[in-house]
Amino acid sequence: MADFHGLALSEPVRRSLDELGFEEPTPVQARAIPLLLEGRDVVAQALTGTGKTAAFGIPLVERIDVAHNVPQAVVLAPTRELAVQVAEALCQLGRYRGVRLVPIYGGQPYDRQLRALRHGVHAIVATPGRLMDHMRRGTVDLSSVRMLVLDEADQMLQMGFQEDVETVMSGLPQERVTALFSATMPKPILDIVGRYMREPEVLRLSQPRALTVPEVEQVFYQVAFPRKLDALCRVLDARRPERAMVFCATKRMVDEVAERIQARGYVAEPIHGDISQPLREKVLRAFREGRTEVLVATDVAARGLDVPEVELVINFDIPPDPEYYVHRVGRTARAGQHGEAITFVNPREMRELKLIERVTGARIRRAELPTAAEVEERDLQVLEERLLDVLSRDGWTRYRAVVEELLEDHDPTDLAAAALAMSATARPARASARAKANSALAVESGWTPADEHEPARRRPAARSYTKNTRTGSRRPPVAGRRGSGPAGKVGQPAKPSPKA
């Protein structure tokens, strides 16, 4: 199908698509949209980042009767973030049709949601628990719902929402169109399909042996646990991504890694289940706008976050389950763009890595950690790009007189090299942090990239503690860094905590 004009869409929706820059439908959109417009139930197994929101959002907007100010469609999402993002996408798609909707999720005051419901909405995007609360209170009327969408259905069930989802589905009219979108199809999903859907059309756009998109280059580094943080900084320096996501196994590890790389000069923020909703929204907004370069997250953030243009995903801790790997890696290479996924493993975790490869069908190539020389080469490349960018603009012309005067006594090449050296040292925090990382990797531990696969030396662990400024709790420092006390005093590396 060449473009959206072949889908028999209304003029207002085509206008919205044109303004949003949609040129042609993705495979899941091309197959799901006509079926849903016809009133067929659809089960779609598609990869993360393939345009699933528009695949159900366009038919949803088209099926709304805007003359009736009652809820006619419900979208269930596993997380607050995804509910908000889906609501925003539907607002954009339905702008010129006059579609009104409200996101309903926990952590937001009830009165705001009640005002929107009393004013009249055509669609509701909700997390299962909060919508069920409204149903029990009698504050929402779902008797006119003609379309139900389960987005990221496998994650909803994995998060323990199966009973809530089934309660909501049981409270909706039986005469409706139901669409279920999911990256994977575990047995509980198939059970729901069998009980609540009517002869659905099953679209398998991702096969069980190919659950990660081919545009993602997937590699792993063997890194001993105490050296992970220095390896992380080495990778960030070598890749220089504008946006990167780092996944850790526990909330404590997320906080520690974020704090440590902040101290090394990186603009990083943590995100996990204990962070308040206003702070989560602030962190995500900064990351989307490019003001934060590294987002350190638990797996709760691997699903339900729509962050475009993530160039690099780093599994600081190996995922506990192959499905988690699929969802983590799905944060990059969205909408056909290229991305890279890097996993840190130690020799004892190779079995888990092989299981991930077998279940997902991914080929995760072994690679060598970037060397200090490669990082320096990347620095020079970035410096050259900055120089050419400045040269293409006019802001440098006021310095010509200074250069011309200096040329009377100095060689032009020497002058240019000295200017570049001055520019390269303009970020002392990052340069100092890199020196510390290289020292930790190559001197303190006696490690170089050539022997990175050797077993880690065992040292006695000290119970050095740092204070978490977010929660006020005290906990051991993150493994991979020496314990930092007052004035940066150095302690011994902490033992790795068990995964949670």
Q: What percent of the chain is modeled with pLDDT above 90?
A: 44
Q: What is the CA radius of gyration of the chain?
A: 26
Which residues make Cβ contacts (< 8 Å) with residue 479, sequence separation at least 6?
225, 226, 228, 229, 493, 494, 495, 496, 497
DSSP secondary-structure letter at 496?
Answer: P
Whether 107 and 129 have beta carbons less than 8 Å apart is answered as no
Cα–Cα distance measured from residue 291 to residue 387, given in angstroms and rounded to the nearest whole number: 22
How many other β-carbons are positioned within 10 Å of the β-carbon of residue 390?
12
Cα–Cα distance measured from residue 331 to residue 27, given in angstroms and rounded to the nearest whole number: 19
Question: Per-residue pLDDT averaged across 458-467, rounded?
Answer: 38
Q: How far apart are the first and last CA of the chain?
A: 46
Q: What is the pLDDT of residues 118-174, one digit of tens each?
A: 999 999 999 999 999 999 999 999 999 999 999 989 888 888 899 999 999 999 999
For residues 52 and 61, the model is more confident at 61
b/e per residue, 72-100, with b = 16+ CB within 10 A?
bbbbbbbbbbbbbbbbebbbbbbbbbebe
Q: What percent of the chain is modeled with pLDDT above 70?
A: 76
* pTM confidence score: 0.55
CA distances from 340 to 172, 187, 408 (A): 42, 31, 49
| DSSP per-residue string spanning 423-437 | HHTS-HHHHHHHHHH
CATH no. of 4-204: 3.40.50.300
Q: What is the pLDDT of residues 330-345, one digit of tens each?
A: 888 666 677 899 999 9
The mean-pLDDT minimum among 216-230, 251-265, 410-424, 480-494 falls in: 480-494
294 φ/ψ angles, rounded to the nearest 5 degrees: -130, 125
CA distances from 375 to 243, 312, 380 (A): 18, 16, 9
pLDDT at 178: 97
**The CATH number of domain 216-370 is 3.30.930.10:** no
Angle at 152 between CA 198 and CA 220, to 5 degrees: 135
pLDDT at 453: 37
pLDDT at 145: 97
pLDDT at 452: 39
Cα–Cα distance measured from residue 493 to residue 459, given in angstroms and rounded to the nearest whole number: 8
Question: Per-residue pLDDT averaged across 73-95, rounded?
Answer: 93
Instruction: Return the H-helix or E-strand segment holding 241.
Output: none
DSSP secondary-structure letter at 409?
Answer: T
Question: Per-residue pLDDT averaged across 393-408, rounded?
Answer: 77
Could you tell me where the beta strands, DSSP code E, fall in 2-87? 42-45, 73-76
Q: In the block, which residue shows the tokens 């705001």?
A: 112
Q: Identical fold at 4-204 and 216-370?
A: yes
Q: What is the pLDDT of residues 345-387, one digit of tens each?
A: 998 888 889 888 877 888 899 998 888 777 667 666 666 766 7
**Most distant CA atoms of the chain, gap in Å:** 87
- Per-domain boundaries in the chain: 4-204, 216-370
Q: What is the pLDDT of residues 206-254, one digit of tens each?
A: 554 455 666 789 999 999 988 999 999 999 988 889 899 999 988 889 9
Cα–Cα distance measured from residue 28 to residue 152, given in angstroms and rounded to the nearest whole number: 14
Query: Which of the given ranges, 3-12, 417-426, 437-446, 452-461, has the highest pLDDT on average?
Result: 3-12
Q: In the block, which residue shows the tokens 């962050």?
A: 307
Cα–Cα distance measured from residue 162 to residue 405, given in angstroms and rounded to the nearest whole number: 75
